[in-house]
Amino acid sequence: MVGAPLAVDLAREETFQITVADNSEASLNKFKTNRRIHTVHADLSRSETVGAVVRDHDMVVGALPGFMGYSCVRWVIEAGKDMVDISFFPEDPFNLNDLAREHGVTVLCDMGVAPGMSHMLAGHAASELDVVEKVMIYVGGLPKKKEEPWEFKTLFSPADVIEEYTRPARFIENGSVVVKPALSDPEIINFPVAGDLMAFNTDGLRTLVHTIKAPWMREKTLRYINHYKQILELKNLRLFGTNKINVEGLMINPRNVINDLLLPQWEMKPDDEDMTVMKVIIEGTKDDKKLRHVYNLFDEYDRVAKIHSMARTTAYTATMAVRMMSKGLYHRKGISPPEYVGQDKKCFDFMLKGLREKGVIYRHRVSRLK
């Protein structure tokens, strides 16, 4: 659902020859009328298949579910190919850093909107400061129309959304790593257009925990208030659990059941309009002055192209990263999270300019703190 607009956008470049590999014929059928995209039916859970698919290509983009992402990145590295990945896998990507350097490849991981641009913006602002004191990220993808009962639609698989609701959240407090349950520390915040939203802890800092030195850092996901309350209730009932339970003699994984039940209810339909809301706040000092950098994003469903906002903001970050690498602007070998790109002003400016031309606009404000 994100990979399709990603591939179509890259296919607009005449210098690129695009191949899409997927195990779903329905997904591949989306490209039947696009003569610039070649398709391959392939089981990407197999290392030999991934190696064969990428063998004759120069660069790979990974847009797989999180549970498949880490393995696929490893296999692409072993094939000696540069890669941009948006799979948001739970494993630490730096575990693959030595392997990537050994094979002389560059892997840009987490190159979506959040993680992705959220980290890139934080990395750039941090590089502009002498000392970083605080990083705060608020982000959410929301349907424009609140529809009961869930007030939520997603372009990602329910498994990945539920993973976000269950994976323990790491953040930095007073210089130390603190771990709290996902969905903890809820607070209601008002945003223009979107209105009152519930912000709660999720494990979105990821690599920032290691790459930016600041005594206070946190990421919170944004959802409609009623949706948050319902999800919290499901979690309290242990319906997101993975330990099998006995149901009439059958051993059932509760999370697998809830995934199958929620998929048809949460699926974003082609004409469903959505919006992406993000605020990134970075505070610190420069030349003994206390400064606050604030980046804001508000993006909506593209009614002309009929592309969802979450797909646009995620896919176009990845496609601009591909263009950046293909032009030789980014050279660092090994695993690179988005904040590394943000620290390179030429690359950062290239990314923001390209996104702005596609209508994805990050507004920046710097103010002096007392």
Handedness of CA 127, 141, 361, 8 (dihedral sign): positive
More confident of the two residues 222 and 162: 222
For 117-309, the fitting CATH number among 3.40.50.170, 3.30.360.10, 3.40.50.970, 3.40.50.300 is 3.30.360.10
Angle between helices 3-11 and 309-326 (to 10 degrees): 40
Length of the chain: 370
Gap between the Cα atoms of 115 and 321, Å rounded? 14
CB–CB of 31/39 below 8 Å? yes
The residues pairing with 85 across neighbouring beta strands, listed in sequence order, are: 62
SS3 content of the chain, % helix, strand, coil (to 5): 35, 30, 35
Looking at every residue in the chain, the average pLDDT score rounds to: 94
Domain boundaries, the chain: 3-113+311-362, 117-309
pLDDT tens per residue across span 27-82:
999 999 999 999 999 999 999 999 999 999 999 999 998 889 999 999 999 999 99
Q: Which of 275, 267, 273, 269 is nearest to 303 (CA)?
A: 273
What pLDDT is stored for residue 66 in this prediction? 87
> What SS3 class is residue 301?
coil
For residue 350, which amino acid is it?
A: F
CB–CB of 325/13 below 8 Å? no
DSSP H or E stretch at residue 313:
helix 309-326
For residue 317, which amino acid is it?
A: T
pLDDT at 298 over 80: yes
What pLDDT is stored for residue 268 in this prediction? 86
Gap between the Cα atoms of 101 and 81, Å rounded? 12
What are the distances in angstroms from CA 132 to CA 75, 215, 342? 36, 8, 15
CB atoms closer than 10 angstroms to residue 264: 8
pLDDT at 158 over 80: no
Number of helical H runs and strand E runs in the chain:
13, 17
pLDDT tens per residue across span 104-134:
999 999 999 999 999 999 999 999 999 999 9
CATH superfamily of 3-113+311-362: NAD(P)-binding Rossmann-like Domain (3.40.50.720)
Q: What is the average per-residue pLDDT within 269-286? A: 94
Q: Which of 24, 18, 68, 79 is nearest to 46 (CA)?
A: 68
What pLDDT is stored for residue 1 in this prediction? 81
Full-model pTM: 0.93
For residue 6, which amino acid is it?
A: L
Gap between the Cα atoms of 189 and 136, Å rounded? 13
Q: Which of 137, 131, 119 is nearest to 296 (CA)?
A: 137
